[in-house]
Amino acid sequence: MKNMRVKTPTKIISAFVAGAIIAGGVATAATTAPSSVITACADKRTGALFLSSTGTCSTNRTLVEIGGANMNAKAIAALVTPTVVSISVNSSAGSGTGSGSIYRSTATTSYIITNNHVIETAVSTGTIKVEFTNGDQVTATIVGRDPMYDLAVLAIKTGNLPTIAVGDSSKVSVGDPVLAIGSPLGLASTVTSGIVSALNRPVTTGDVGSESYVNAIQTDAAINPGNSGGALVDAQGRIIGVNSAIATLSSGGTSGSIGLGFSIPMNEAKRVIDEIISTGKSTRPVLGVFFDTAYTGIGARILRLSAGEGAERAGIPAGSVIRSIDGLKIPDEVAAIVKIRSYAPGATITLVVDLPNGGGSKSFKVTLGTAPSL
């Protein structure tokens, strides 16, 4: 298991398991993007779910509503699990398992989203296998990856697969019910339930010098090693986050779920995923500053500026301390980096900074630049 770090009293690690054996499962449903409340028909004999566009079902099926005020976990699980796969990686650097979601499917090819840390050992050599809920396995190739956002896209030569419905993570609120779906410890099609515990949680994962920064959705739905890359879905069965990391106690005595799981918000992930599918590469937004990592005060102190980038063009002087970005308070440089990376390149943001040498507080409009993520 890969160690992670974050500026909290707990330790953040990837929800990834090394050397586990994938266990198969069975599910038989398809899905398309639902609205706030959708209707489905459950087969009375098999329990399989089929979306109903008319709100009616044949005599051998029972009408089921998904969404609305309450979460129908049983119905959502049956609807979504066929779109979530297990991923196994074998390479000279080791083996491991994770999870992924079927994001797009054509007649001949399907694209699966997962975490970069799930597949990064197989970038140069090794094999990646995808296992469906019926136990079938196929070989996958890497379309592209983004270590800075801890995202990757795989392709398989199997078409016309059910795809996961995509939700709007900007509409998520603390307290919303959610399901986490994936393959913890290689146990395929595992579903756990909980709520959204917090939003905009700055989480830093990875080794020093190659960190991923996540403006995370925090959930108490159980996420364990092997859940990495799996889906966090809302009450309508739509993916709102890519499960990525879990917190463990600093003492190191606990390596499983303690009710602190973190997911990459889907709106942030979708931009990166779509870029990778279109071009094989992705981009990141650039503020154009270097932060003072030795600064211990509240906020993010700018050590120096990048020539010609957004911060310099906006007139922000070196030595300024960022106190908020678009109204969100910034306690340190990690929070600043995480918040900046939640935007798309070219976005215009508002920074409130304390000017150097007691110059008071000032607001700046900054247009973010762009840079390749790899």
For the annotated catalytic residues, the residue numbers are 117, 150, 228
Contact 153, 168 (CB under 8 A): no
* Six token digits for residue 86: 């297990």
- The gap from C-alpha 32 to its chain's centroid, in whole angstroms, comes to 20
Rounded CA gap, 157 and 160, in Å? Answer: 10
Task: Show Cβ contacts of residue 249 under 8 Å, excluding neighbours closer than 6 positions.
Answer: 10, 11, 258
> Which helix (DSSP H) or strand (DSSP E) does residue 337 occupy?
helix 333-341
DSSP 38-80: EEEEEETTT--EEE-SSS---TTEEEEEEETTS--HHHHHHHH
Rounded CA gap, 337 and 302, in Å? Answer: 12
Q: Is the dihedral of CA 91, 154, 270, 41 positive or negative?
A: negative
- Return the HEC string of 295-311: CCCCCEEEEEECCCCHH
Rounded CA gap, 107 and 175, in Å? Answer: 39
Using alpha carbons, select from 150, 216, 151, 219 the residue that is nearest to residue 179. 219
* Six token digits for residue 344: 């798309």
The conformation of residue 123, written as its DSSP 8-state character, comes to S
Rounded CA gap, 177 and 208, in Å? Answer: 34
User: If you search the block for the tokens 């992705």, which residue do you land on?
Assistant: 282
> Which helix (DSSP H) or strand (DSSP E) does residue 269 occupy?
helix 266-279
Q: How many CB atoms lie within 10 A of CB 93?
A: 14
Terminal-to-terminal C-alpha distance of the chain: 23
Rounded CA gap, 364 and 350, in Å? Answer: 6
User: If you search the block for the tokens 């990875």, which residue do you land on?
Assistant: 206
Contact 361, 355 (CB under 8 A): yes
